[in-house]
Structure 1
Amino acid sequence: MRFKRILLVKPSGRKGLSFAFDLIPIGLEYIAAYIEDAVDEVHIVDMELDRRKFQDIISLYCPDLVGISLSATEHNEALRLAKIAKKNGAMTVIGGYHPTSVPDLMLSYPQIDFVIRGEGEQTIRELIEHGTPENILGVSYKKNGIVLHNDDRPKIENLDNLPFPARNLRQYQYKSQNRTTDNDVIVMSRGCNGSCSFCCEPSMSSGCLRFRSPENVMQEILEMAKYHQNKSINVMFADPNFIGNPSGVDRLCDLLIEHNLNIEFSALVRADAMAKYPDIVKKMCRAGILKFEMGIESPNPRDLKSTRKGITNGIHREAVKNIRENGGRPGGTFVIGLPDQTIDEIKAFPTYAKEIGLTAAAFGIATPFPGTGFYKELDEQGLIFEKNWDNFDEMHSVYKTKHLSKETVEEMATYCMAKFWNLDTFIDQEMVAQKRTMRKKTMVDFARERILNLGFMTNNGNELQKDNFGQHIKTFLDAYADPRVEKYTRTVGIHEVLDLKRLLRVLGAQKIQCSLSLDDVTVSFVFKTTSKTVEYIQVIYGRHDDSTINLDVDLKCLAEPHISNLLKTSAFLFSHNLSIKKIWSTFKLFAAIGTEVISSNLQTVHPQN
């Protein structure tokens, strides 16, 4: 019996570092496009954004086959959705990195009928057309209570033969952090020829790296731009190794420059390629590919060797230099909590990230995913203690290390994030961007972006470490005080990077102190200004006594969200500004901020040519 009504589902529950790079279910859109002409109906639902109950969705579409794509952190939620689908008479099929690695485990659950291993387009189409898994390559299934694994399906060789993802089936708006700019995703290749021990990609692609033609990719980009009505959009190249085919990337850049679209791209790249091809890096930045995420992993050669990364510290530095010189934004991910790491080694990670010139960094906890060499090694030693797949999110410690407890590893992730994401990092981002834009960012735009950053970090931190959020706030504060911020801001001069003329003219000479406190821990930001310059910014423990303006924030409202704590925080904000002189200085601060906001709004209404 053929399947005719297909529902493809992305479960909720994807969190941690993978969440940042997997916002749009592009894999399901590829599958939908590949089967669209073979079925009566196909729908895609993203339960991360959909506010309907899954039972209501099932009742609306009445699918006879429900397909669910999942990672490890979505294991439990996918099983819950599959159970609902089965109760309503649908067959269930799952795929993705996690099921590909553990098909026997997934088929041990009665609500799972089929597992598709590896790439799904051809396999699911044959399953739909035949109505049975027998003799279909790449399928695992149960027969008379026995799990059977059909032979692997060969990888799709000519990716240009695949139809473009079915963006027309999207039911949601995928927005950037500012909630106004559209996001989208595209892939130029599949697979990766790297051999990193902790990565899931080898189990999915077996190291088989294949590429689309630049012309085919450009055609999809033009259709994507049309889909978004030619508005400004942010697009991620989600290839595991975007620059795996340097000549193809070079040609694509020529096409992008020729069309001059209103698109800013980001890409996942290997540091060795960015170091080896400086001319292509230059052309990528010129073509609008401006944000790069590299697996830096660690400054420690021992870690780089144990993870089979195949790169060196010298490659790190050269890759970052090539990106910065062309106005691009070099970002890097680090792996903390590897079996032999110590606290002192991990604390050096954010310092190293700044020293080599990264403008963005993420610090993920080493997580052994099934199907990786890392998982096999730890599992054989009996070191994996976590049984809840929800916590395999690169933000929780799930196995025993030699030197560090679970709690210490998780606090180190918070420490590294705080130590890197200080004010000097944000200023550095703008300084690098000026090489390309040739203009200063307004104070209002800069502040708006920082507020969005703060909201994102707070929401995700509260979600990921909700049982111990107060302690993580203290760890954050402890890491944030940093004498290098003063040294950097004295050298660079913030007024040379941001447009502060109006604000400083109204504000004048001040020493503004903003203090963040939780229980007995206090960290203060000190801004020393004149009528024309910002002399320096300090981030210190405790408080200065000679400030002209004080703003005090009690972070108990974050550690213990409650209306009473919020009211106390509001009352506490100006508690150190009770003298006439400080009241007048505080008034000047708000007048300066108001002037900036009004000016920004006027420029938005009447933009300059």
Structure 2
Amino acid sequence: MRALLVQSPATSPWVPRRQWEPPSVAMATIAGQIDNHDVKVADMVIWRKQAVPRFLQVLREFKPDVVGFTSMTFQYDTTVGFAYLTKHFDSRIRTVLGGYHATLFSEKIAASPDANLWDFLVRGEGDFAFGELLNSVEAEGKGMENILGLSYKEEDRFRHNPPRPLEDLDKIRIPARDKRLAKGFHMYFRRADVIETSRGCLHLCNFCSIREMYGRSFRLFPLDRVLADIEDAYSRGARHIFCTDDNITLDMERFEQLCDGVIGLKLKNLIFTTQASPIGFANRPDVARKMAQAGFVSIFLGIENVSVKNLKTMHKPNTLDTIQRGVAALQKEDIIVIAGIINGLADDDPESIRENYQFIKEMGISSVMDQIMTPYPKTPLRDEMLADDRIANLSDFRWYDGYFSNVRTHQLTPAELNFVRWKIRREIIGMWRATKADWKFFKGYTYVWEFGFRHIVWLNERLLELILGVEGRYKLQMRQFLQLNDFGIEVPGRQRADAYHPVYGNNEDPYRDTRWSLLKHRLPFPWRKRLTAGPPSQPAAEKFGD
């Protein structure tokens, strides 16, 4: 039996698209557990500009019997489009949806018109479930009722099998990278790959949806398996590896062992990027030196917020002292810190948002991934925001990618929050400037940017702002971001009754915007006044789009 595993091409505006195109480790890992079927992986992040024709080409050439898709919540709309293309190409192909959205929304999907596009839903981890499903499909459905975590159709209605327990990571083999159809994955123009050394997190952050996938758990892959995975990626040309763990430094002793293991491999010209909390490095600054010796050159650090009150509201264990000590330990070893911050908490106003960025700048950090608080489904945060009537966009999940504003604060409407974050970041952080560590580890990319592209981009921004004004430049950039994942796929009969527009906070569909329609449609608030603290231009409890 031939099966195709598909990674969505949908991405978020704060992921640099041409500089950062790594593959999916999840799909290759699933493929790595299957020996008795012909499985291929179509990771479409690298095909974004030609996603539809390339996908149809794969269907024509590979002729799969089953196509499995994975999807985060913000990617689901795009994934439905590719499921429709699959069924339209050949209605006999069985379609499978897995990942976060299938896990969180299996019952809603099963009861919606979208159910016509899906034959199966895999809830929870799919490492072994997908292979079990292929065996059952080949056996004409035999044993399907015994596949834990599977939802399947019985007389045109979905039947949901019992949940699947968490997998034993000791039994999961390394990813089957040879089954990837796409080539050219890279991060900052170095050939790249992705590994995982652990799954889950024990922290209780109220905005995080990871607990809905793994519960409150933290599991480790065997260290020898992790090192074999690194060697496999390296042997296939990877020279930049991203560790996609939810919180790799939750166990600092284990992380130190990992660093020792990587040092022992003696792989030349190999660097790593990972993501973590500052807490581990504040408590064990000595590990930062070991980390640098192992080749870890950059880290996404969950700083989140400068307000002690906001950190407590998010149930984050961070403190300002912890953040500063963790960042200092990393910077001492010339490790690039990419600051993750979150705006849009209940009491946020322009001044508190400005303090967030100023705090980051004063620590010497120039790379920032700034999110607006997003009420991800089934998180404690969503329940709290619903009770406080702070969610403006309840169900147009295209904009639940962390970048766009879907919520109001007590001081800012959703549209104001979206603009204020954009404008203040532009003023304080501005264009990216290379740090000492950037020059050290990404010399080629940094030269090209600092002596070439940066000046072109600066001139372009100044001209656009001069011609269009600040408001016009903002709206055109938002249009670019809002239409980033519009691949032009129309699903017949699929109506969008819940559209939401983050720029205006109304129920218009951003996919229908043209440059001219956006430019002549004024923002629904006096933006110059909203850059200072004060009450919102509309009542905080007002419903948008009603």
Normalised to the residue count of structure 1, the TM-score between the two structures is: 0.69
Task: Give distance in 1, aligned partners of 2:192 and 2:57.
Answer: 28
Structure 1 residues 190 and 145, CA, compared in 2 at 3 Å: closer, same or farther? same
Q: Does 1:193 align with 2:194?
A: no
Change in Cα spacing, 1:100 to 1:380, as seen in structure 2 (3 Å) is farther
- Distance in 2, matches of 1:292 and 1:383, equals 32
For 1:64 and 1:474, locate their aligned partners in 2 and report how far apart those are by CA, in whole Å.
Answer: 41
Instruction: Tell me the CA shift for residue 187 of structure 1.
Output: 0.7
Aligned residues: 456
What is the letter of the counterpart of residue 181 of structure 2? Q
- Which residue of the other structure, out of 419, 426, 434, is the alignment partner of 1:411? 419
TM superposition shift of 1:22: 7.8
Match of 2:473, SS state, is: helix
Shift of 1:422: 4.2
Q: Which runs of 5+ in 2 are unaligned?
A: 479-513, 517-546
Q: What residue is the counterpart of 2:72 in the other structure?
A: 71
Whether contact under 8 Å (1:9, 1:46) holds in the other structure is yes
Q: Call closer, same or farther: CA 1:57–1:421 in 2, change over 3 Å.
A: same
CA distance 1:53–1:312, change in 2 (3 Å) = same
Return the alpha-carbon distance in structure 2 between the equivalents of residues 69 and 404 of structure 1.
Answer: 35
What is the DSSP-based 3-state SS (H/G/I as helix, E as strand, rest coil) of the residue aligned with 2:256? helix
Q: Which amino acid aligns with 2:251?
A: N
Alignment of 1:441-590 (within 5 A): 444=447, 447-448=450-451, 451=454, 454=457, 470-471=473-474
Q: 1:395: how far off?
A: 1.9
Cα pair 2:5 2:27 within 8 Å, conserved? yes
Q: Deviations over 1:172-207 (max 9, x none)?
A: 33444654x212111101111121111121111102
Structure 1 residues 431-490: Cα deviation after superposition (integer angstroms, max 9, x where no partner):
x568x78x99999456258649959x98xx99xxxx976136899xxxxxxxxxxxxxxx
Q: Which residue of 2 aligns with 1:97?
A: 100
**Post-superposition offset of 1:79:** 1.0
Q: 1:246 aligns with which of 249, 252, 267?
A: 252
SS of corresponding position for 1:258: helix
Distance in 2 separating the partners of 1:451 and 1:92: 44
**Aligned with 2:396 (options 388, 396, 403):** 388
TM-superposition CA deviations, 1:70-121 (whole Å, max 9, x none): 1122111111211232341111111111221111122222111221111101
How far has the Cα of 1:366 moved from its partner?
1.2
- Report the alpha carbon displacement of residue 308 of structure 1 after superposing the two structures with TM: 0.9
Match of residue 380 from structure 2: 373
Q: Is the 8 A contact 1:96 1:117 kept in 2?
A: yes
Is the 8 Å Cα contact of residues 99 and 123 (structure 2) preserved in structure 1? yes
- The Cα of 1:373 is off from its aligned counterpart by 1.7
Structure 1 residues 442 and 202: alpha-carbon distance in aligned structure 2, compared to 1, 3 A threshold: closer
Report the counterpart of residue 175 of structure 2 in structure 1: 165
Conserved? CA contact 1:361–1:420, under 8 Å: no
Give the structure-2-normalised TM-score.
0.76
Partner residue in 2 for 1:421: 429
On the 8 A contact 1:340/1:401 being kept in 2, the answer is: yes
* Structure 1 contact 24–174 (Cα < 8 Å) conserved: no
1:144 and 1:474 map into 2 onto residues whose CA distance is: 48
SS at match of 2:167: coil
Change (3 A) 1:440 1:402: closer
Q: Which one-letter code corresponds to 1:91 in the other structure?
A: R
Between 1 and 2, higher relative CO (CA 8 Å, sep ≥ 6) is seen in 2
**Cα deviation, residue 163, structure 1:** 1.5
CA distance in 2, matches of 1:445, 1:383: 43
| Map of 1:400 onto structure 2 | 408
2:310 to 287, 303, 314: 303
- Rounded to whole Å, the distance in 1 between the matches of 2:200 and 2:445 is 41
Report the Cα offset of residue 247 of structure 1: 2.1
Residue 62 of structure 2 corresponds to: 61
CA distance in 2, matches of 1:333, 1:444: 25
User: What secondary structure does 1:49 align onto?
Assistant: helix
**Contact 1:369/1:375 (8 A) holds in 2:** yes
SS of the counterpart of 1:347? helix
Q: Deviations over 1:564-609 (max 9, x none)?
A: xxxxxxxxxxxxxxxxxxxxxxxxxxxxxxxxxxxxxxxxxxxxxx
In the alignment, the residues of structure 2 paired with residue 381 and residue 340 of structure 1 have an alpha-carbon distance, to the nearest angstrom, of: 12
2:297 paired with 1:290: yes
Name structure 1 gaps, 5 residues minimum.
476-558, 562-609
Q: Give the direction of change, closer, same or farther, for the CA distance of 1:42–1:443 in structure 2 (3 Å limit).
A: closer
Please tell me whether Structure 1 or Structure 2 has the larger radius of gyration of its CA atoms: 1
- Amino-acid identity (%): 24
Equivalent pair of 1:139/1:149 in contact (CA under 8 Å): yes
The alignment yields a C-alpha RMSD, in angstroms, of 3.2
Any conservation in 2 of the 1:470–1:560 contact (CA below 8 Å)?
no
Query: Could you tell me whether the CA contact under 8 Å between 2:194 and 2:242 is conserved in 1?
Result: yes
Alpha-carbon spacing, 1:470–1:400, altered in 2? closer, same or farther (3 Å)? same
Match of 2:109 among 96, 99, 106: 106
The answer for the alignment partner of 2:368 in structure 1 is: 361
Show the counterpart of 2:163: 152
2: CA distance, partners of 1:325 / 1:32: 40
For 1:82 and 1:419, locate their aligned partners in 2 and report how far apart those are by CA, in whole Å.
Answer: 42
Partner of 1:529: none
The whole-number CA distance in structure 1 between the counterparts of 2:336 and 2:360 is 13
Equivalence for 2:5: 8
The residue aligned with 1:141 is: 152
| Aligned residues of 1:44 and 1:169 also touching (Cα < 8 A) | yes
Deviation of the 1:406 alpha carbon: 2.3
Letter in 2 for 1:95: G
**Corresponding position of 1:130:** 136
TM-aligned CA deviation for residue 67 of structure 1: 0.5
Task: Note closer, same or farther for the CA distance 1:412–1:176 as it changes in structure 2 (3 Å cut).
Answer: farther
Label 1:560 to 1:82 Cα distance change in 2 as closer, same or farther (>3 A): closer
